[in-house]
A and B are shown apart, each in its own frame.
Chain A
């Protein structure tokens, strides 16, 4: 007697977002990235097509970042040159995209002008052929000015830009609409705010397939389970035809995982925790692999060794696609 396996039938797929534009499309990318489009829960190929595999965008900053030595030592001097750094990420680490964070614009730091930042963006665009994700410095006022300028300077490139939040979304959504980019919509681990923000953005006229959801994950050991469940609920909602949840999801894995003590403390300080190098790699890796199981479409990562492991994990899980 054959076992009647349960294969769910869903009414809807996750929306597909295209990031990047080739010359024919008005941009300068050599390839574009498509995310989303899933017709089932993560990696369950037996019940739905997973159109586009999860991609990894490696983080590059416009000024050298204050990251730990475990990661910095894997890059060396190239951290002083965003374009070279981005190139290294693509050529050596096979990053699918580059996630450029314009921390130099921070009023509490160098307070670089939008023009200076736009120059860095152009340099990075020239250095790599993969699509770009660009965000500001987390200062809402500065970012409104900054990202509007970046969006204009890169019109045609079909970037993914951020961040739109419930209390500050109009400027960036408008910039995305006018200059034809995609937007990261970020909500604080709250599925209702997530939906509300998507409604507000789409009411401004930005099509739903230009929105990527950032659920504001917590890293491994520091709240990852909250994001895990929010993302699972969002994915189930999307498959059940909730249009305001049917967007691909982006996760700040590199940032959150590396905030943890466990990703930074030397073995001498915590002998019970073992070797720091492997521990740090796995702290970022498992933050990513857990979230892959709940629908992460874009992983923003820092540690090249972790990137390699996650790429392997994705390949393994896409085997029966």
Chain B
């Protein structure tokens, strides 16, 4: 949110000395507001004024980058329909240093395996949270090193014992791990350690009030690479805190809370834990630390994350080229649909379930569904015929039967005419494909 000239003027010395090159402070402020000139040109602006100006023009929630491409924060809205959510919740799986080396390796292998392919997309787990529960700084350091050597993902070093963090951090600092947590008891040493190694740090307190106080204290150490933890470990309270923190950052630009928030699950049973995590992914957590690491458990959560963090104005599209499902041959049916990902994969799913290998040609409709495309004139017979020809499907099949979506039955005559193919009107919804194929 840009500052107005008047807001900037309020922070200036108001000497009208002209040394910045502009005759009056007001004129200088106006220039700055329109993006011309730099605050540094003024020799008399106070540190406090500088701080206020930086702060006011900064984004509502700081962007914190760490590890292997992980980005937290940098969100601007409370509801995705107001614009979009930008940075999908960073998901980290926890490993305790109290486990045996073999168990640690096994868990790490499982975490590294959390790579999924579905509907043309690829999901990967973001990182590993190494939890110090052993009480032994050397053990913690050793485990951190073992895990760092065994994965290239982002790391979170979790201990409230600064000695453990001091022991473990140096060897992995170059990987820019997130460390935590700085609490009321230890924040000076932990924040200074983070500052020394240029890594972000979790500021943890029990509740909003305590968190506010602690962040303000921590900021005074001259460091601001923070991630917030309001300390709650149950779904209801965590949801409330995530909401409070996000609202204050976005609606009031409340600076102490202008940082990303991390949530931790509390459920022990994996399915219940994933249900709990889904609340935090839906509502404002920039990072969530999980215990679950089985593929079947993590995949649904990653699908939800991807869904909610999709930009509402940018539908996901598939390539408008000929696709095939199964072991196609010259007799295989040919379906035509649109290149809206949801439409395409709904059709593909049903075609696959029909167990009849087929070709599917998605027409480029700018990622819109059948009805939307047709209404917008993007699903005309000429365009479909043209795409059909360019796809080369005529060389692949010895028939000329084309199955079109039932909703656009009205174009069948014209399409038949311009393409030379026999047009068969398919079901109106992809869910009707199986019944349709039985009747074919």
Contacts and interface: CB of A to CB of B under 8 A. Distances in A.
Interface of A: 1-3, 5-6, 43-46, 108, 218, 220-225, 228-229, 232-233, 236, 259-262, 264, 267, 272-279, 281-283, 285-286, 289-290, 293, 305, 309-310, 312-313, 316-320
Given A282-B300, A312-B272, 13 more contacts: A3-B208, A6-B244, A43-B236, A220-B300, A222-B342, A228-B282, A274-B295, A286-B301, A289-B278, A309-B271, A312-B275, A317-B279, A319-B237
B170 interface: no
A229 B307 CA distance: 11
A250 B300 CA distance: 22
A305 B294 CA distance: 18
B236 A3 contact: no
Given A218-B342, A225-B308, A286-B304, A293 B279 contact: yes
Contact of A282 (B248, B297, B431): B297
B214 to A, nearest CB: 12
Interface of B: 79-81, 115-119, 208-209, 212, 234-237, 239-240, 243-244, 247-248, 251-252, 254, 270-272, 274-276, 278-279, 282-283, 294-297, 299-301, 303-304, 307-308, 310, 312, 342, 345-346, 349, 352-353, 431, 435
Contacts of B353: 261, 264
Contact of B303 (A220, A233, A264, A313): A220
Contact of B116 (A272, A305, A310): A272
A169 to B, nearest CB: 19
A26 B143 CA distance: 68
A44 B243 contact: yes
B81 A233 contact: yes
Nearest to B212: A3
A222 B117 contact: no
Contacts, number: 163
B271 A285 contact: yes
Given A278-B294, A283-B300, A286-B278, A221 B307 contact: yes
Contacts of A276: 296
B251 A6 contact: yes
17 contacts: A3-B254, A5-B248, A45-B236, A45-B240, A225-B80, A228-B80, A229-B81, A233-B81, A262-B118, A262-B299, A262-B300, A274-B299, A282-B274, A289-B278, A289-B279, A289-B282, A317-B236
B308 A228 contact: yes
Contact of B278 (A260, A290, A305): A290
Contacts of B352: 261
- Top 4 A-B residue pairs of the complex, sorted by shortest distance between their CB atoms: A274-B295, A274-B296, A279-B296, A282-B300
A206 B276 CA distance: 39
B276 A273 contact: no
Contacts of B80: 225, 228-229, 232
Contacts of B342: 218, 222-223
Contact of B345 (A2, A222, A286, A319): A222
Contacts of B297: 274, 278, 282
A310 B275 contact: yes
Contacts of A309: 271-272, 275
Given A222-B346, A282-B297, A289-B278, A316 B271 contact: no
Contact of A260 (B243, B279, B349): B349
Given A274-B295, A290-B278, A46 B240 contact: yes
A272 B295 contact: yes
B317 to A, nearest CB: 14
A316 B209 contact: no
B79 A316 contact: no
Given A272-B117, A293-B283, A317-B239, A279 B300 contact: yes
Given A233-B81, A278-B294, A313 B279 contact: yes
B322 to A, nearest CB: 21
A141 to B, nearest CB: 16
A262 B272 CA distance: 19
The listed residue with most B CB atoms (<10 A of its CB), out of A6, A221, A309, is A221
Given A275-B296, A278-B297, A225 B236 contact: no
A320 B300 CA distance: 28
Contacts of A260: 349
B244 A273 contact: no
A306 B370 CA distance: 32
Contacts of A6: 244, 247-248, 251-252
Contacts of B300: 220-221, 262, 279, 282-283, 285-286
Contact of A220 (B247, B307, B312): B307
A54 to B, nearest CB: 13
A252 to B, nearest CB: 12
A221 B119 contact: yes
Contact of A3 (B248, B274, B301): B248
A267 to B, nearest CB: 8
B271 A281 contact: yes
B260 to A, nearest CB: 18
A15 to B, nearest CB: 22
B294 A274 contact: yes
Contacts of B240: 44-46, 320
Contacts of B294: 274-275, 278
Given A43-B236, A43-B239, A275-B296, A286 B116 contact: no
A132 to B, nearest CB: 25
Contacts of B301: 282, 286
B59 to A, nearest CB: 19
Given A220-B307, A221-B118, A293-B279, A259 B299 contact: no
Nearest to A43: B239
A242 to B, nearest CB: 15
A236 B77 CA distance: 15
B295 A273 contact: yes
Nearest to A284: B300
B234 A316 contact: yes
Given A43-B236, A222-B346, A262 B271 contact: no
Nearest to A282: B300
Nearest to A264: B353
A129 B374 CA distance: 48
